[in-house]
């Protein structure tokens, strides 16, 4: 059974199976924006040996561990069940049924009147070890998009192509490049990661590594045909990686069957294993720069991931040139002068402190 949460100008739907933020809708300047992607198949079309989350693939979910796992691709957080528990007004709280490396995992989704944002956090209570972690938001871009990012050190592809014999991957693997506008392609040319799509019928994955000096990490997806803009925001010192999943008809087998198109994954996290070259270096370049390469659990405390997902009208279709936070006001600027000022819970991201470790135990009744 799905659960809904709403505030003035925004609403969301949450599904406990897989812990999925199925959709959120923002009403802005008289228009309704519903940017999240949903796969075009029914659960019955998914092969029995596929990861369970493919049966309900949609929206945004938590992937911990990000990648292969005994509990299925992207772990129990993506493939298991979540139990919704009582919470404060304006907040939806759910607890994962089962543990992740001994940690209890809590999800919180919250809204505020006239804020075009979903405030999302995941708390890991106890547990041991370190593991790759990311949000897994999927944006629907059937008519193309323009992408902009906070400052990145470099971009890097996986150790191997996602598809070789049963589909097509078009980037070069593994490769690194400083310029997102000229990432190496498999055919010897380059592609511009600031655009979607940049190729036909392909399945690709590439990650950008944040500049260590960044505080506010952001990704902006402009959908010119829809006249809107989708924003993801994070504390860049806690989650230093922006991962892009380009799923655009590049898989020919069930349930994909070449029909999963116009899906752009914006996956913010800390997941060193997806970096085909950097993950083989000692020390790896994230750790060497003081950036978290993985999510490290705290046996006697909690760690958390915070992430903001939002949408606004953006009728000019301009690419985003900058995103600046001053107090509780977020200013988004286009490359030809368009501007929007938006209310934001700035302190919620914890930009002035270590947002990951909260060493006191939680006293919630879970």
Residue 361 has pLDDT above 90, yes or no: no
DSSP string covering 176-187, please? EES-GGGEEBTT
Q: What are 287-327's pLDDT values in tens digits?
A: 999 999 999 999 999 999 999 999 999 999 999 999 999 99
pLDDT of 38 reads 98
Distances in Å between the alpha carbon of 352 and those of 178, 289, 347? 28, 19, 8
At 50, phi and psi to the nearest 5? -80, 155
At 311, phi and psi to the nearest 5? -150, 140
Residue 71 has pLDDT above 70, yes or no: yes
pLDDT of 1 reads 86
Residues 58, 42: contact at Cβ < 8 Å?
A: no
Cα(238)–Cα(287) distance, rounded to whole angstroms? Answer: 12
pLDDT of 120 reads 98
The CATH number fitting domain 3-358, selected from 2.60.40.10, 2.60.120.380, 2.70.98.10, 3.30.70.3420: 2.70.98.10
- In DSSP terms, which residues pair with 12 in a beta bridge? 5, 24
Q: Which residues contact 150 (CB under 8 A, 6 or more apart)?
A: 210, 211, 214, 216, 217, 218, 219, 236, 323
Residue 66 has pLDDT above 80, yes or no: yes
Cα(131)–Cα(286) distance, rounded to whole angstroms? Answer: 15
Domain boundaries, the chain: 3-358
Mean pLDDT score, 336-352: 93
Residue 360 has pLDDT above 90, yes or no: no
Cα(233)–Cα(50) distance, rounded to whole angstroms? Answer: 31
Structure tokens that stand for 276 in this block? 């085909």
**pTM exceeds 0.85 for this model:** yes
Q: What are 252-277's pLDDT values in tens digits?
A: 999 999 999 999 999 999 999 999 99
Percentage, residues of the chain above pLDDT 70: 96
Q: What are 138-171's pLDDT values in tens digits?
A: 999 999 999 999 999 999 999 999 999 999 999 9
DSSP string covering 289-331, please? TT--SSEEP-TTSEEEEEEEEEEEE-TT-PPEEEEEEETTEEE
Q: What are 167-192's pLDDT values in tens digits?
A: 999 999 999 999 999 999 999 999 99
Structure tokens that stand for 331 in this block? 């200013």
Q: What's the burial of 358, exposed, middle or buried (CB within 10 Å: 0-12/13-18/19+)?
A: middle
- In DSSP terms, which residues pair with 312 in a beta bridge? 229
Residues 102, 127: contact at Cβ < 8 Å?
A: yes
Residue among 257, 284, 289, 261 nearest 273 (CA) = 284
Mean pLDDT score, 92-99: 98
Structure tokens that stand for 18 in this block? 């897989």
At 55, phi and psi to the nearest 5? -70, -25
pLDDT band per the 50, 70, 90 thresholds, residue 352: low
Residue 121 has pLDDT above 60, yes or no: yes
Residue among 228, 59, 244 nearest 149 (CA) = 244
pLDDT of 283 reads 97
């Amino acid at each position: 059974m799905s659960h809904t949460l709403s505030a003035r100008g925004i609403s969301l739907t949450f599904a406990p199976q897989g812990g999925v933020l199925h959709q959120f809708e923002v009403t802005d300047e008289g228009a309704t924006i519903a940017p999240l992607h949903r796969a075009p198949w029914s659960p019955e079309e998914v092969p029995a040996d596929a990861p369970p989350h493919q049966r309900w693939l949609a929206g945004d979910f938590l992937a911990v561990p990000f990648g292969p796992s005994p509990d299925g691709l992207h772990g129990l957080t993506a493939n298991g069940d979540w139990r919704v528990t009582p919470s404060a007004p304006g907040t939806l709280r759910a607890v994962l049924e089962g543990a992740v490396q001994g940690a209890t995992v809590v999800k919180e989704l919250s809204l505020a009147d006239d804020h075009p944002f979903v405030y999302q956090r995941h708390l890991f209570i106890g547990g041991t070890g370190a593991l790759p972690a990311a949000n897994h938001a999927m944006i629907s871009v059937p008519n193309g998009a323009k992408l902009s990012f906070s400052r990145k050190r470099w971009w890097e592809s996986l150790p191997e192509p996602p598809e070789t014999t049963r589909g097509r991957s078009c980037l070069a693997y593994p490769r690194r490049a400083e310029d997102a506008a000229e990432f190496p392609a498999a055919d010897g040319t380059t592609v511009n990661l600031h655009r979607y799509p940049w190729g036909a019928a392909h399945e690709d994955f590439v990650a950008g590594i944040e500049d260590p000096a960044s505080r506010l990490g952001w990704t902006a997806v402009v959908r010119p045909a829809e006249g809107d803009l989708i924003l993801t925001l994070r504390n860049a010192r806690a989650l230093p990686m922006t991962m892009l999943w380009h799923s655009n008809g590049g898989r020919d087998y069930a349930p994909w069957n070449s029909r999963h198109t116009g899906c752009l994954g914006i996956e913010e996290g800390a997941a060193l294993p997806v970096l085909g070259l950097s993950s083989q270096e000692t020390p790896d370049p994230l750790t060497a720069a003081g950036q978290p390469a993985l999510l490290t659990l705290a046996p006697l405390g909690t760690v958390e991931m915070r992430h903001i997902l939002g949408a606004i009208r953006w009728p000019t279709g301009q690419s985003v040139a900058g995103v600046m936070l001053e107090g509780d006001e977020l200013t988004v600027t286009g490359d030809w002068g368009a501007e929007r000022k938006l209310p934001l819970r700035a302190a919620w991201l914890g930009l002035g402190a270590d947002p990951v470790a909260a060493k006191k135990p939680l006293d919630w009744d879970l």
